[in-house]
């Protein structure tokens, strides 16, 4: 194939209809005719050459072209009379990336062509390419869509399982670990769950629409497979919702525990202050530097004052115990 820097395509394949794909270069794409087999080209729309090539395709309607080139799009399905446009999202499993930073993949198909585009690498697409190299890939454009949806759901499932395992670990450690870093990690998981749910809900709706109205694009078997993938996405959404609720409960428990601890400290300080308030009054009264204070001429006045204050403190403690304030 032509080097990526010189070609508008990341890669291009001819599907032989039996699971195998033959890579072709840009010249082969331009010379392609339907009788050669199904053509699949994969584009990076950040590449100016790819944008120019796609813009020059007069046989692709404007709506499809705009979506293939768009910067940000929500998952959707746009059926046409003789073609189909899909915009889907997959979790970002690239090394060092956050899974909730979901990557968009746009696919346009007709009876003999598949055009897919992306702005960031999506490993599910490369899985399909590898399966074509191994002779186990899709045989038709509709089979390509089903295969892509299944691979996207597989990776989403792995991330959802990881989130559930993380929440279980948080729950196991919640009674012993209330550090700031622990609470921050829990909050990060909750945000990740919300971000993934944001795109999975419309993706589920798009797949639901696709399998309910497959038109002439999909066979009955493929429509059933799409329904199964839609059900999987629904289950993942339910699992994410449960994980989010569990995270909220954990955060509320942390907040309640912290509030109880703070209330206990404030209560203890209030009791100590209440006990020492009359004692402070007595010491302040006897400490006034004016004439006429009792006991200034009595040698035992200091000890008498200590005794009175001690008895007063004990009486206050007994009173609080009687009132069940302590």
pLDDT digits (tens, 9 = 90+) for 210-226: 888 777 778 889 989 99
| pLDDT level of residue 95 (50, 70, 90 thresholds) | low
DSSP state of 76: E
SS3 209: helix
| pLDDT level of residue 94 (50, 70, 90 thresholds) | low
Q: Is 76 exposed, middle or buried (0-12, 13-18, 19+ CB in 10 A)?
A: middle
Average pLDDT, the chain: 85
| pLDDT level of residue 178 (50, 70, 90 thresholds) | low
| 168-192: average pLDDT | 79
Of the listed ranges 133-142, 223-232, 271-280, the one predicted with least confidence: 271-280
| 115-134: average pLDDT | 92
DSSP-assigned letters across all residues of 82-112: S-EEEEEEE---STT--TTSPEEEEEEE-SS
| 5-23: average pLDDT | 88
266-296 core/surface letters (b: 16 or more CB in 10 A; e: else): eeeeeeeeebeeeeeeeeeebeeeeeeeeee
| pLDDT level of residue 3 (50, 70, 90 thresholds) | very low
| 306-310: average pLDDT | 83
pLDDT per position as a tens digit, 263-300: 888 888 888 888 788 888 878 777 777 766 776 777 77
**Superfamily classification of domain 11-257:** CorA soluble domain-like (3.30.460.20)
Domain covering 263-322, topology: Methane Monooxygenase Hydroxylase; Chain G, domain 1 (1.20.58)
| 118-124: average pLDDT | 88
In angstroms, what is the C-alpha Rg of the chain?
A: 35
Q: Which residue has the higher pLDDT, 170 or 239?
A: 239
The answer to whether residue 99 scores a pLDDT higher than 80 is no
Bridge partners of 205, per DSSP, are none
| pLDDT level of residue 4 (50, 70, 90 thresholds) | very low
Q: Find which of 105-119, 164-178, 242-256 is predicted with most confidence, using mean pLDDT.
A: 105-119
pLDDT of residue 312: 83
pLDDT of residue 59: 81
% of the chain residues with pLDDT over 90: 30
What are the structural domain ranges in the chain? 11-257, 263-322
Q: Are 100 and 162 in contact (CB under 8 A)?
A: no
pLDDT of residue 181: 79
| pLDDT level of residue 209 (50, 70, 90 thresholds) | confident
pLDDT of residue 38: 93
């Amino acid at each position: 194939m032509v080097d990526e820097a010189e070609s508008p395509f990341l890669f291009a394949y001819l599907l032989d209809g039996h699971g195998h794909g033959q890579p072709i270069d840009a010249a082969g794409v331009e010379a392609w005719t339907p009788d050669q087999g199904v053509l699949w080209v994969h584009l990076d729309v950040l590449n100016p050459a790819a944008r120019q090539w796609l813009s020059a395709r007069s046989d692709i309607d404007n709506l499809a072209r705009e979506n293939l080139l768009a910067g940000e799009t929500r998952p959707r399905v746009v059926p046409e009379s003789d073609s189909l446009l899909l915009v889907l999202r997959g979790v970002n499993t690239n090394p060092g990336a956050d899974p909730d930073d979901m990557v968009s993949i746009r696919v346009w198909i007709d009876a003999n062509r598949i055009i897919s585009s992306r702005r960031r690498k999506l490993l599910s697409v490369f899985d399909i390419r590898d399966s074509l190299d191994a002779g186990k890939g899709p045989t038709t454009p509709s089979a390509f869509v089903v295969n892509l949806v299944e691979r996207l759901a597989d990776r989403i499932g792995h991330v959802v399982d990881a989130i559930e395992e993380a929440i279980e670990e948080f729950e196991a450690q919640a009674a012993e670990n209330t550090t700031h870093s622990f609470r921050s990690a829990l909050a990060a998981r909750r945000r990740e769950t919300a971000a993934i749910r944001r795109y999975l809900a419309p993706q589920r709706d798009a797949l639901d629409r696709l399998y309910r109205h497959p038109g002439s694009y999909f066979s009955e078997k493929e429509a059933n497979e799409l329904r199964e993938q839609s059900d999987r996405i629904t289950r993942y959404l339910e699992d994410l919702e449960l994980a989010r609720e569990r995270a909220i409960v954990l955060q509320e428990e942390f907040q309640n525990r912290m509030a109880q601890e703070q209330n206990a400290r404030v209560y203890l300080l209030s009791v100590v202050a209440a006990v020492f308030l009359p004692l402070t009054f007595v010491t302040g009264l006897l400490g006034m530097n004016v004439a006429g204070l009792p006991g200034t001429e009595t040698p035992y006045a200091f000890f008498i004052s200590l005794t009175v204050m001690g008895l007063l403190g004990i009486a206050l403690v007994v009173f609080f115990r009687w009132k069940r304030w302590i």
